[in-house]
Amino acid sequence: MCGIVGYTGDKQAASILLDGLKKLEYRGYDSAGIAVREGDRPLEVVKAIGKLENLITKTEGGRKVLGKCGIGHTRWATHGEPSYKNAHPHLSGNCEGNGAVDSCVVGVHNGIIENYRELREKLQRHGYVFYSDTDTEVVVKLVDYYYKKYAHTPVDAIAKTMVRVTGSYALELMFDDHPGEIWAARKGSPMIIGVGEKESFVASDVPAILSYTRNVYFIENCQCARIAPGKVQFFDLNGDEVTVEPQKVEWDAASAEKGGYEHFMIKEIHEQPCAVRDTYNSFVKEGKVDLKSIGLSEELLKNLTSITVVGCGSAYHVGMVMQYVIEEMAKLPVRVELASEFRYRDPIMNPGQLVVAITQSGETADTLEAVRLAKKRGITTLSIVNVVGSSVARESDYVLYTKAGPEIAVATTKAYSAQLMAGYLFGVELGRARGVVSQKEYEEYSKELGTIPEKIEKILEGKERLQWFATKFAHSSDAFFIGRGIDYAVCMEGSLKMKEISYIHSEAYAAGELKHGTISLIEDNTLVIGVMTQPDLYEKTIGNMAECRSRGAYLMGVVSYGRYDAEDCSNFITYLPPIDRRFAASLAVVPLQLLGYYIAVARGLDVDKPRNLAKSVTVE
């Protein structure tokens, strides 16, 4: 949530800042702004409400704002309504900032300062006047206060501020008497620093700087950094310089562009075969799942007594699928928890338990705190993460990296599918290590998983039928997804896709629960989508579909090839290539993603950036 960029080097900063902010639009925002300076010339601040295009127009694409050092921000309102005065950047001086300004410190911030009221009162007693309602202005003025108190040393000022502030933040600052430098600090919220030839970059996420450099540093919690052209230094809370090792981003810069597709979401739906194949190939060597490469020993797997999977949103839905697969394949109890609930309910943890955290960004606040809680209790942690070097990855004992590449659309598709593959591979290897899965079954499962990418491609070939069907229900007010077992877990994800991008009220139900109240909502032309891929549960779900049809519902079925009797009780059928029932979620989710996408397009909505949502939820 919120986007932060920074640049210092030998080029004009404004256009680079705007380009970076453009690539961070998926994080969600309501206003945007940049602050740029050139040597000893006065700082120039430009802000705009609404879409980033408003800021781009105001600055003529950055051409009106000259300077080779600058910071930028897209704001997601937390403290204070979306307005010009609350837009970032914020100043330590007593003005809102528009054009050339005189200010000792200017800054942008992602996160939430929990004790900002207390700090604001303290600063007011010292003569500071506030022009905005934000917690960010408070922290910028607090840096200014300590900067002047401690003999104009940015390291001391930032370190004192970090100790005094409660909450989460990624903070980016410029000081008036340190031209050409950007200072950054982090606790909880993500931030990366990229270094190139005679230039350096700061950003909330990799896509913002991927076109300029692949050499990045992941600043650690409670560290600050001095960023100068082509170099960076890191400091701890004591002001001592520390070493942070650089990492190379392997993502292709082109993967963060639309590449001719109308939206990132449909591009990423089509990238799923590649994401799933790359994730599979990263762990399967000569037909065997290799988890030893990440340090997971067979002895550890054998001695597990239980697994708790934590995640939020789609990651939670992946966990639901994993629960069914692992309990059957490894005969090990699995509990799936919303990370936002897990961390607050004093969960029971025992030796031999494994906590598996699932997150695309590796920065989801609740999931990160769930990992920290588990580690505090002495529990082994494994994360399934897409971003190398992210906070969850760094703080987990073991990491299964997915190979989805950058995912820009807010509604996840390829990251979800890559996470499913990682979960399957873990389940198969766990079952083998515990002696539940025979060698023959192990080889068959490993081979079957390798066929998923081409089967997803087969489903995508028939997308036009789903597009046609979607236009018929573009103006629906309600939709219900029903299924049993793994199909129910898939329904949860399909329902989420529908509601988050099309704004249609949508719910997922275990099909057997319909008669416990929900069926009272079914009326003429209510859209009901039934997912029926599990052979042992097929007839029961068909019966539930028939009950809905008798009450006027319009039925869509998602079934495997050969289940032609489903046409007798459904108005529209999507057939899936045959696959082992345990892995059917990887195929069944694809038509549901397409359905949600095409309905949103037919409704004329902003598919990639749905209202009120952000890609990465880095605050509670």
Task: Give pLDDT tens digits for 365-382.
Answer: 899 999 999 999 999 999
Q: How many helices (H) and strands (E) does the chain have?
A: 19, 28
3 state SS of 233: strand
Q: pLDDT confidence of 316, banded at 50, 70, 90?
A: very high
346 vs 66, 349, 353, 379, CA distance in Å?
53, 9, 15, 14
Q: What is the pLDDT of residue 287?
A: 85
Residue 99, pLDDT above cutoff 80 = no
pLDDT band at 534 (very low <50, low <70, confident <90, very high): very high
Q: Does 443 fall in a domain? A: no
- pTM of the entire predicted model: 0.78
Query: Residues with Cβ < 8 Å from 572, sequence gap 6 or more?
Result: 469, 555, 556, 557
* Residue 389 resides in a domain: no
CB 558 within 8 A of CB 574: yes
What's the confidence (pLDDT) of residue 252?
65
Range of the domain at 160: 3-254
What is the DSSP secondary structure assignment for residue 188, as one 8-state letter? B
Share of the chain above pLDDT 70, in %: 95
Which residues are CB-contacts of 374 (< 8 A; sequence separation ≥ 6)?
A: 308, 349, 355, 380, 381
Query: Does residue 387 register a pLDDT over 80?
Result: yes
pLDDT tens digits, one per residue of 443-452: 999 999 999 9
Q: Which residues contact 606 (CB under 8 A, 6 or more apart)?
A: none
When pLDDT is cut at 50, 70 and 90, the band that residue 305 belongs to is very high
Dmax (CA) of the chain:
81
Tell me if 574 is assigned to some domain: yes
Domain stop point among 254, 275, 307: 254
| Higher pLDDT among residues 333 and 253, named by residue | 333
| pLDDT, tens digit (0-9, with 9 covering 90-100), for 212-226 | 998 889 888 888 999
CA distance 364 to 371: 11
Domain boundary among 220, 254, 288: 254
Mean pLDDT on 308-319:
96
For residue 584, pLDDT over 90 is answered with yes
Taking alpha carbons only, the member of 68, 69, 62 closest to residue 33 is 62
Q: Is residue 306 part of a domain?
A: no
The domain boundary, picked from 206, 239, 254, lies at 254
The whole-chain average pLDDT of the chain stands at 88
Separation CA 144–CA 45 (nearest Å): 18
CB 599, CB 529: distance < 8 Å:
no
pLDDT band per the 50, 70, 90 thresholds, residue 260 = confident
Phi, then psi, of 214 in degrees rounded to 5? -110, -5
| Residue 420, burial from CB neighbour count under 10 angstroms (0-12, 13-18, 19+) | buried
Can you say whether the dihedral through the CA atoms of 243, 246, 247, 251 is positive or negative?
positive
403 in any annotated domain: no
At residue 100, the pLDDT reads: 53
Q: Which of 194-203, 325-334, 468-477 has the lowest mean pLDDT?
A: 468-477
Residue 191 predicted with pLDDT over 70: yes
CB 534 within 8 A of CB 582: no
Count Cα atoms within 13 angstroms, Cβ side, for 542: 16
Give domain status of residue 31, yes or no.
Answer: yes
State the CATH number of the domain containing residue 175: 3.60.20.10
Cβ pair 74, 110 in contact under 8 A: no
Q: How does residue 174 score in pLDDT terms, banded at 50, 70 and 90? A: very high
The 10s digit of each residue's pLDDT in 423-459 is: 999 999 999 999 999 999 999 999 999 999 999 999 9
| C-alpha gyration radius of the chain | 26
Distance CA 310, CA 315 (A): 8
Task: Establish whether the linkage from the previous residue to 347 is cis, with ω within 30° of 0.
Answer: no
Report CA-CA distances (Å) from 1 to 4, 165, 414.
10, 20, 20
Q: In whole angstroms, give the CA distance from residue 401 to residue 465.
A: 34
CATH number, position 474: 3.40.50.10490
Active site members? 2, 615
Whether the predicted pLDDT of 97 surpasses 50? no
Q: Let me know if residue 219 belongs to a domain.
A: yes
The total of structural domains in the chain comes to 2
The answer as to whether 432 is a domain residue is no
Q: What is the mean pLDDT of residues 516-521?
A: 76
User: Which amino acid is it at 179?
Assistant: P
